[in-house]
Structure 1
Amino acid sequence: MTAQLDNLMMNYPLTLPHFIERTRRVFAKKTVATRVPGVGLERMDYARWAERTQRLAGALKALGVRKGDRVGTFAWNSHRHLEVYFAAPCMGAVLHTVNIRLSADDITYIVNHAGDKILIVDASCWPTLEPIRKRLTTVEHVIVMKDTPSAQVPAGALEYEKLLADARPMESWPTLSETDAAGMCYTSGTTGHPKGAVYTHRAIFLHSMASSMTDLLGIHERDVILHIVPMFHANAWCVPFAGVLNGATQIFGGPNPQPRDIIEIVHNERVTLVGAVPTVWIAIDAILEAEPRWDISSIRCIPIGGSAAPRTLIEKFDKKYGAPMLHAWGMTEMTPLGTVCRLKSYMDALPDDERYAIRAKQGYVAGGVDMRIVNDEGVEQPWDGKSVGEIQVRGPWVIRSYYDNPESADRFTADGWFRTGDVASIDP
């Protein structure tokens, strides 16, 4: 008789309650903060944040939110938004972050197509939603967060802080499957209506662990993370989730942060990681040139996405400001990380010119993601730095279909790859 060999490990579900419970117990004293215009940083520790998150879950349950219901957000980056990031999926609902910069018609389509039951809105964003409120046919309750000192709650809406104060905290999280939906984001910039990407607990869990790898973003407990990438854009590159998992100090940029706000927070709080698109860093560079008193050398990593940063900008931030930029590539459909551009060990001895030429590229594929390039005839191309083809990917945090959108089936190959639509060559 042969003893059983396979399947001897625990079948432990990779779900988000693990994140919040770990941080509540291990990193209770660490800080979460939000920039409040005209006031400064509103701070709290993870213990209080976790308790507030449990209160929000209790409040949502009292409003009738059940497993699988969509909880939409229409908001800037804040600790309150982070509370929704965890309260909704940890209670079994689905977090749906809505892009506040889309047109009224796109917002209406997205909210209705997703079937949002609750919409949690920053007061400063309400003027965008008010004209279309009656068109949002699935929304039963609107909850408004006061994100500025003068903010008002419109008639008919619930006030976030009062809701939390009156709520009975959810003392324990329900048992969830790692394949349950945890979040969803809609793509923009595509033809036709925006398309919904739905993320499972497992996808976010594994993506957060990957983001903690040294050769990717290397997020860790000693980090001070400033969130400028919008939380409505591909989960702010999923960094808030990894920040909670690792107990990092997290600072949220608040409503409409400007380049000077970013500089002041980095300087005063000794921020170590802050991502943004290149145009933001071009504006920051102009301020630093004019006002050299600012020090941003605490930054160990500036993840760059959305578009490529000019090589000259990468080199300048490296040499003049001591703040290294890190090119990355990804998509909403990938939760979103696909590649990161770090120098390999044997590249350290290369001349400056060659090293910066490499760093101006999008890097190599992240651990956990498979990648190939395929030409117009459907033939996979070699990784030789010359051959060109469409990037196709697969992996545990890559979607295998869009939400309720069968007409987009051609974005997925018969052998299980996602067709990104991006064209590239891959270096050997």
Structure 2
Amino acid sequence: MQGMMMHMPLRIIEILDYAAQAHPGAEIVSVRTEGDIHRETYRQAYSRAAQLAHGLSGLGVGQGDRVATLAWNGYRHFELYYAISGMGAVCHTINPRLSAEQMVYIIQHAEDKVLCVDLTFVPLVEALSEHLPDGLILVAMTDREHLPEGKLDWLCYEEVLAGQDETFDWPLVAEDAAAALCYTSGTTGHPKGALYSHRSTVLHALFLSVTVPRSLHEGARILPVVPMFHVNSWGLPYAAPLVGASLIMPGGKLDGASVFDLMENEQVTAAWGVPTVWLGLRAEVEARDSVPSALDQLVIGGSAAPRAMIAFFENHGVDVCHAWGMTEMSPVGTHGQLSPPMQDLPFEERMAAKSKQGRRLFGVELKIADEDGVRQPHDGKAVGELFVRGNAVISGYFNNEAASNGSFDADGWFGTGDVASIDPNGFLYIQDRAKDLIKSGGEWISSLDLENIAIAHPKVANCAVIAVPHPKWDERPLLVVVPRDAGDPPTLSEIHEMLLEHLAKWQLPDAMEFVEDLPLTATGKVSKLTLRQRFADYVLPDAG
């Protein structure tokens, strides 16, 4: 027997339509590439999205066509998110931190029809112009006054909207129709495309909004430092209007001072981003001896947040919520909100819990499997590869059968490539990426465990641990450090002393090297691939 209920397809445009009616005063505040601050409400954004949909239709964009964006977080990018998907086309966000070769590849692979570009990235597109597909329509995301001049023919974003009707007959697209496309950063091989549907995107926004209420609630002012050009800014452009939270868009100014000032001036209550960004904010907090006055929560993901960083902000009255996910998961899969009983634990026990990646979102299932594919218990002790499945997890990669075939187990679970455990409270702990584990004398050493302890040393600004060859032990850890003061760096014995409080002697790094900065991937994570290449011929002191 079936239920007797109406069925309406879940569509992304319904989120903004709802926000325009239920939360008309909530706003999008943007630091524009033109240099000023722009404000518009969700009601205004909805009207402009309708105008944009008319304009894109006039350019020949139809249902299923891919419209690409190359842009910072801002109101125009937000409008594109909704106009493109709302009219039944696919919003393809391009990460400007990818290599030129990778960007050309994904534009061609996606078969983009239109490319909308922030002023910052106009020179980048001009440099790629000889390799772009014929007929690709270029739109500069600015007004006539700031329209770039050069060898390319740019349409003006504001003129695409100008004079268009402020209402649009949004098509009743199927909820499983494609809505957005995001490619992985492609550290090995070509980037792979995750093709999100309307249904997966709306459900992810709903799951997120009920899971992290401290950030996502009516009246909140959220700063998404995580970029809109990668995995939909962790879903915030959808979840925030759904709950009536305002979005404070930082544009391209992501240094510690700019982020601090924006937080203070706009009374930001929550901010989401990767650890490298919060290292800059931490330095600014230390320099000013204060935190932004309204800041209540930081959500940290993308890579593991060091325990010392979590403790620093917690000691300054800011709640830190760890999160974990992947491009293939829309992307958030877990959250680190503590249950009420856990919030009453002693500080060190709370920090231990917050250092984990947290509990699963509703709609996301997790399992740990050993090398034979046998499911492991959630006892906090058993370790294995992490597999996921759910309503917002990919079922395959876009136009990439080879990559799809090797990514799922026999039961259809997606293999993350992370080595993890899950404790009886449901908290996920990522031990390491499988490729970053160090195999020494038949035993495994977690690079993350070493990094999370070493970065707490007062002379360490940032660090990473990689495996280097050893003739006897196969691999041994090398600690790569960015010192706080190049004139007074830490010694290896000082680091060892701190590590020995938590780890066995055989797990300690054999050597330490200093660098000015750690290389980053296109998504802001430390690029261990680059470090491994740089130190490929490194000879350990006792291995010569």
Select which of 370, 389, 400 maps to 1:394: 389
User: What TM-score, normalized to structure 2?
Assistant: 0.75
Aligned residues: 422
Contact 1:59 1:168 (8 Å CA) reproduced:
no
Q: Which amino acid aligns with 2:129?
A: R
Give, in angstroms, the shift of residue 256 of structure 1: 3.7
- Tell me, what secondary structure is at the counterpart of 2:314? helix
Matched residues in 2 for 1:354 and 1:189: separation? 37
Counterpart CA distance in 2 for 1:148 and 1:226 is: 29
**Residue 253 (structure 1) aligns with:** 250
Q: 1:172 aligns with which of 169, 172, 180?
A: 169
- What is the 5 A alignment of 1:30-41? 30-36=26-32, 39-41=35-37
CA shift for structure 1 position 36: 3.0
Q: 1:345 aligned to 2:340?
A: yes
**Residue type of the alignment partner of 1:279:** T
| Greater displacement, 112-121 / 23-32 | 23-32
Counterpart residue number, 1:374: 369
Cα distance in 1, alignment partners of residues 198 and 359 from structure 2: 25
Higher alpha-carbon deviation: 261-270 or 346-355:
346-355
- Write the letter of the residue equivalent to 1:95: C
Which range moved further: 102-111 or 222-231? Answer: 222-231
Letter in 1 for 2:68: G
Structure 1 counterpart of 2:9: 13
Q: Deviations over 1:207-256 (max 9, x none)?
A: 10111114576512211011211101110001111112222111111124
Structure 1 pair 76–149 and aligned structure 2 pair: CA distance change class (3 A): farther
TM-score in terms of structure 1 length: 0.94
SS, match of residue 162 in structure 2: helix
Query: What is aligned with 1:419?
Result: 415
Report the Cα offset of residue 265 of structure 1: 1.3
Counterpart selection for 1:188 from 170, 185, 198: 185
How far residue 35 of structure 1 moved from its aligned partner, in angstroms, is: 0.9
Are positions 1:354 and 2:325 aligned together? no
Letter in 2 for 1:102: L
State the distance in 2 between where 1:148 and 1:346 align: 57
Cα deviation, residue 299, structure 1? 2.1
Opposite residue 236 of structure 1, the aligned amino acid is S
Matches within 5 A, 1:50-89: 50-89=46-85
Deviation at 1:191, TM superposition (A): 2.1
Quick one: distance in 2 between partners of 1:176 and 1:150? 36
Could you say if the C-alpha distance between residues 127 and 39 of structure 1 is closer, same or farther in structure 2, counting changes exceeding 3 Å?
A: closer
- Rounded to whole Å, the distance in 1 between the matches of 2:10 and 2:140 is 31
Deviation of 1:48 (Å): 1.7
2:117 aligned residue (117, 121, 125): 121
Gap change, CA 1:37 and 1:259, over 3 Å in 2? farther
Contact kept, 8 Å, 1:74 with 1:100, in 2: the verdict is yes
Contact kept, 8 Å, 2:215 with 2:297, in 1: the verdict is: no
Partner of 1:99 in structure 2? 95
Residue 213 of structure 2 is aligned to residue 243 of structure 1: no
Q: Which amino acid aligns with 1:105?
A: E
**CA 1:216–1:184: 2 relative to 1, 3 Å:** farther
User: How far does residue 107 in structure 1 lie from its aligned partner after superposition?
Assistant: 0.1
Q: Per-residue displacement from partner, 1:16-39 (whole Å, max 9, x unpaired)?
A: 121121112222222111113685
| CA displacement, residues 169-224 of structure 1 (integer Å, 9 cap, x when unaligned) | 45220111110001010001442110000000011101101111145765122110
Return closer, same or farther for 1:139/1:250 CA change in 2, 3 Å cut-off: farther
Cα pair 1:296 1:323 within 8 Å, conserved:
no
For 2:318, the aligned partner's letter is: A
Overall identity of the aligned pairs, in %: 42
- Provide, for residues 241-293 of structure 1, a one-character-per-residue CA deviation record: whole Å limited to 9, x for no partner: 1112222111111124322111111112111111121122121111222223x
Q: C-alpha separation between the residues in 2 aligned to 1:255 and 1:348?
A: 36
Q: Give the equivalent residue in structure 2 for 1:298.
A: 294
Match of 1:208 in 2: 205
Alpha-carbon RMSD across the aligned residues, in angstroms, is 1.9
State the AA in 1 paired with 2:391: P
Structure 1 counterpart of 2:262: 265
What SS does the aligned partner of 1:377 have? coil
Rate the CA distance shift 1:418–1:185 in 2: closer, same or farther, 3 A.
same
Per-residue displacement from partner, 1:307-360 (whole Å, max 9, x unpaired)? 12221221121122x221111000000000111112223323322111111101
Letter in 1 for 2:408: F
* Contact 1:273–1:301 (CA under 8 A) maintained in structure 2: yes
Secondary structure of 1:65's counterpart equals coil
